[in-house]
């Protein structure tokens, strides 16, 4: 922080008080999470029509990739919002933070990213727009200011939950356009911090790219394929038996428009940093929580598989003078490593139990293979309970229900079309390196979980009627409304 000389004595005096947090000695931090954005849809362009121009999907992300490091192999822990965001803000994989299903929340005994930075003296502001970032799940922990910029479904809509009103709820949850409000609220808060000369950590969760795909006309026009069919970006239109390539291309173009609309607001936030003269002194990280399926395996959505279309995430890290501009990083980066990277670049120590690693090692050593990612997907109403590991070269999963394993060699089969399967006997005895690594992880995870602090006798919280309806309408509870 720049402190006028005249007030230095006062600052030193005040810093002796045990109540006052320390003066931060590191950059501001802006962490932006775009919900459901595939790695291969950021930092690239598409040609919507054969005779049309190439259109960049994410000009603001492109700018960050020129000014910072782009991670070409970044992965989440899973394929849905709640556990992956918990991994991002606690520095732990799902098996260790334990928030793997609905009605679970971040244990208050864990030090979240916001708590870590607040401990260092940063002011902390969180801005969210999707139901899983609700404070009920523990995400407000550590924030001085935590604001919902998404749809608040009015209570009377839930009270009169007749069939005819289902569409109202559906539309409120999905169709609200939130990027503008997210920008305005976060920009107002950042402006105030700059005015008051305070270091800040701002986290913004952007919901618009999550289905439904209902971007404004201006962005839709950029990616218009000239489609003449009857599919729209609203879920429920995708129930036909037969799917044609033009339908998929159209739905994908509507998704691109949502990403572009969000990126346009990220551009405005970057311009704000320029205007406030904070650009060189702010760590900016842009990522996503998981990807999205576009009928690659006859399915839409996410939270059904752990294939790379839902597991790979975009990731860019920019801090002038500290992170090399224009670096392209090949080593595998994990969503939870964002926690340790922010701690590293702000000079803060991570708690002992945090297994995440700073990604600095990857941009400093181009040969670094990155870090092995523990995977998890638990969806009881679909009888899914999987654990696994992903490295740059391979992915291995164990199905706890079917008692069967699957292995993919990603070097030879990057699209994951051919799995080698194995049974319990192999899991216990095989000398295959990937099966051995999985066996070791499954053996050690319970012990590692016991080493993570936890609050004794914590009960799962009750999801109230309003939140339940919102999550159901998104297909996350026992509804099959997932395409």
Smallest distance from the beta carbon of 184 to Zn ion, in angstroms? Answer: 22
Q: Do residues 407 and 389 touch, judged by C-beta distance below 8 A?
A: no
Q: Does 258 bind Zn ion (CB under 5 A)?
A: no
Q: Does 81 bind Zn ion (CB under 5 A)?
A: yes
Smallest distance from the beta carbon of 289 to Zn ion, in angstroms? Answer: 4
Smallest distance from the beta carbon of 312 to Zn ion, in angstroms? Answer: 14
Smallest distance from the beta carbon of 197 to Zn ion, in angstroms? Answer: 35
Q: Do residues 62 and 53 touch, judged by C-beta distance below 8 A?
A: no
Smallest distance from the beta carbon of 35 to Zn ion, in angstroms? Answer: 4
**Which DSSP string corresponds to 295-350?**
STTS-EESSS--SHHHHEE-EEEE-TTTS-TT-EE-SBEETTHHHHHHHHHHT-PP
Task: Give burial (CB, 10 Å; 0-12/13-18/19+) of 321.
Answer: exposed
Which stretch of DSSP H or E encloses residue 69? strand 69-71
**Can you name the residues that pair with 375 across neighbouring β-strands?**
388
Smallest distance from the beta carbon of 383 to Zn ion, in angstroms? Answer: 22
Residue placing its CB nearer to Zn ion in the complex, 193 or 252: 252
Q: Which residue is nearest to Zn ion (CB)?
A: 81
49-68: which residues touch Zn ion (CB under 5 A)? none
Which stretch of DSSP H or E encloses residue 248? helix 245-275
3-state percent helix, strand, coil for the chain, nearest multiple of 5: 35, 20, 45
Give the C-alpha separation, 291 to 299, whole Å: 13
Residue placing its CB nearer to Zn ion in the complex, 80 or 200: 80
Q: Which of 111, 289, 308, 416 is close enough to bind Zn ion by CB under 5 A?
A: 289
Residue placing its CB nearer to Zn ion in the complex, 291 or 331: 291
Angle at 304 between CA 242 and CA 130, to 5 degrees: 100
Give the C-alpha separation, 202 to 195, whole Å: 15
416-455: which residues touch Zn ion (CB under 5 A)? none
Residue placing its CB nearer to Zn ion in the complex, 28 or 36: 36
Site string for Zn ion, 8-37 (x = CB under 5 A): ---------------------------xx-
Site string for Zn ion, 380-409 (x = CB under 5 A): ------------------------------
Size of the site for Zn ion (CB under 5 A): 4
Smallest distance from the beta carbon of 191 to Zn ion, in angstroms? Answer: 28
The token duo for 184 is 């305005």
Residues that bind Zn ion (CB under 5 A): 35-36, 81, 289
């Amino acid at each position: 922080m720049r402190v006028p000389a005249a007030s230095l004595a006062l600052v030193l005096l005040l810093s002796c008080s045990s109540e006052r947090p320390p003066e931060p000695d590191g950059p501001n931090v802006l962490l932006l999470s775009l919900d459901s954005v595939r790695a291969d849809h950021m930092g690239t362009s598409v040609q919507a029509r054969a005779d049309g121009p190439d259109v960049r999907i994410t000009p603001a992300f492109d700018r960050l990739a020129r000014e910072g490091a782009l991670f070409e192999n970044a992965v989440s822990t899973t394929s849905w919002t709640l556990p992956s965001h918990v991994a991002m803000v606690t520095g732990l994989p799902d098996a260790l933070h334990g928030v793997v299903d609905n009605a679970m929340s971040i244990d208050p005994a864990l030090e979240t990213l916001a708590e870590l930075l607040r401990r260092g003296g940063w002011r902390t502001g969180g801005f969210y727009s999707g139901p899983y970032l609700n404070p009920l799940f523990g995400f407000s922990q550590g924030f001085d200011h935590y604001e919902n910029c998404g749809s608040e479904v009015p209570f009377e809509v839930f009270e009169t939950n007749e069939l005819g009103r289902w569409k109202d709820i559906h539309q409120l949850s999905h169709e609200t356009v939130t990027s503008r409000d997210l920008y305005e609220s976060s920009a107002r808060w950042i402006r105030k911090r700059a005015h008051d000369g305070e270091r800040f950590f701002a986290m913004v969760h952007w919901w618009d790219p999550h289905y439904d795909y209902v971007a404004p006309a201006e962005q839709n026009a950029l990616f218009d394929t000239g489609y003449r069919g009857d599919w729209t970006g609203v879920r429920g239109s995708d129930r036909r038996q037969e799917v044609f390539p033009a339908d998929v291309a159209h739905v994908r173009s509507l998704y691109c428009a949502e990403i572009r609309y969000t990126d346009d607001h990220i551009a405005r936030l970057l311009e704000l940093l320029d205007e406030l003269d904070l650009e060189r002194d702010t760590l900016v990280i842009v990522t996503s929580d998981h990807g999205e399926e576009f009928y690659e395996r006859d399915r839409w959505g996410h939270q059904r598989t752990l294939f790379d279309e839902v597991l790979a995430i975009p990731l860019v890290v920019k801090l002038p003078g500290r992170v090399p501009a224009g670096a392209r990083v090949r080593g595998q980066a994990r969503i939870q490593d964002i926690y340790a990277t922010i701690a590293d670049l702000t000079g803060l120590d991570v708690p002992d139990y945090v297994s995440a690693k700073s990604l600095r090692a990857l941009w400093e050593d181009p040969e670094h293979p990155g870090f092995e990612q523990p995977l998890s997907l638990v969806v009881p109403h679909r009888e899914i309970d999987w654990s696994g590991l992903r490295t740059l070269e391979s992915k291995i999963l164990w199905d706890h229900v079917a008692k069967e394993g699957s292995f993919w060699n990603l070097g030879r089969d990057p699209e994951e079309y051919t799995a080698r399967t194995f049974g319990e006997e192999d899991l216990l005895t095989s000398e295959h390196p990937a099966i051995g690594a999985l066996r070791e992880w499954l053996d050690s995870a319970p012990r590692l979980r016991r080493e993570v602090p936890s609050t004794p006798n914590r009960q799962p919280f009750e999801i109230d009627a309003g939140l339940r309806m919102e999550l159901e309408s998104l297909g996350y509870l026992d509804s099959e409304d997932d395409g």
